[in-house]
Amino acid sequence: MSYYAFRDHKQLLSMGLARLDLADWLQPDKKLAEQSTLKKALWQHQGEQVFKALPESAAAQREVADLLAHHLPAHFPELYTPADQGLWCAPMQTTHHWDRHDNPLLQASWCVQEDLCLLQAFADGYRLTAASLCAPSYWRLLDKIGKPLDLIHAPVPGYSDQLSARINRFFSHIKVEHPVWRGNWSVVSSDQLYQPGIEPSPPIKEVEQIGERCFLRCERQTLRRLPESSAVLFTIKVTLEPLSDFCQSPEILRDLKAAIDGLSKEERLYKSLHLLEPALSQWLQHQLD
């Protein structure tokens, strides 16, 4: 089922958290096999740019792998079957095995479409200690691994003044029994899931090219406290749809335009929307006229 984050999460400087039913925690869809294959290929070619773990994350990694091994067959028996130290994944027609003592988060992450990030408490706050990150939205894992939340979010305009205290407080108080989810969104000029932002996105100036060359990029994010390690597991599922797919859905385009219009100049720069303006707004208005 498609999820359009801009309809629920219009403001960048808002946590926008909602209670998560664990039955809806992970959401495999028809692209599961394709995206699992992509994850493995990225690991083979990009290595530590898509998976990195600090030694402190070992116990939390094992806990996540065990959690997936129990959760996925229980909720999606048609897709997953328990296997020795792993899972049989029907869409991929393969068994993903993991060594409990050698970064099990890596192979476990190949069973799902979501990126998996672990954050753990230190004296100075929560730090990113391990991540399988194959669909970053313009950030690089090696820039963030081992860093505390405030440095991870430093590029977000207004973060230190308006969000830092709330986010740090949330991570300190999130309970095992109260998982949450939130959304994020942007409009981009690439249909690639892996977008670390190494190469700048090309600007688009022609209004008539917006529909086919621009994509709505939405993130469905979840956060939950792990009961044994007390780490926080952050999952991110990214979807991409060309704007042309919404030409017959004016209510969606209307909400998207309203969300864009509500962004500050700094927020537009952060989302790189300035590379698509004014053509993007003109195209949206034309579809609504």
C-alpha dihedral over 120, 121, 123, 128, to 10 degrees?
A: 30
Position 162 scores a pLDDT of 78
Which residues, 6 or more positions from 53, have their beta carbon under 8 angstroms from its beta carbon?
61, 103, 105, 106, 129, 130, 131
- Report the predicted TM-score, pTM, of the whole model to 2 decimal places: 0.93
- Which of the four pLDDT bands, split at 50, 70 and 90, describes residue 260? very high
What are the pLDDT digits (tens) for 272-283?
Answer: 899 999 999 999
Structural domain count, the chain: 1
What average pLDDT does the segment 242-253 reach?
95
| Residue 195 to residue 137: CA distance in whole angstroms | 5
Position 99 scores a pLDDT of 83
* Residue 42 identity: L
What are the pLDDT digits (tens) for 72-86?
Answer: 999 999 999 999 889
Range of the domain at 27: 5-288
Biggest CA pair distance of the chain? 59
First to last CA, the chain: 28
What are the pLDDT digits (tens) for 128-173?
Answer: 999 999 999 999 999 999 999 999 998 887 787 778 889 999 999 9
Whether the CB-CB separation of 65 and 98 falls below 8 Å is answered with: yes
* Residue 106 identity: L
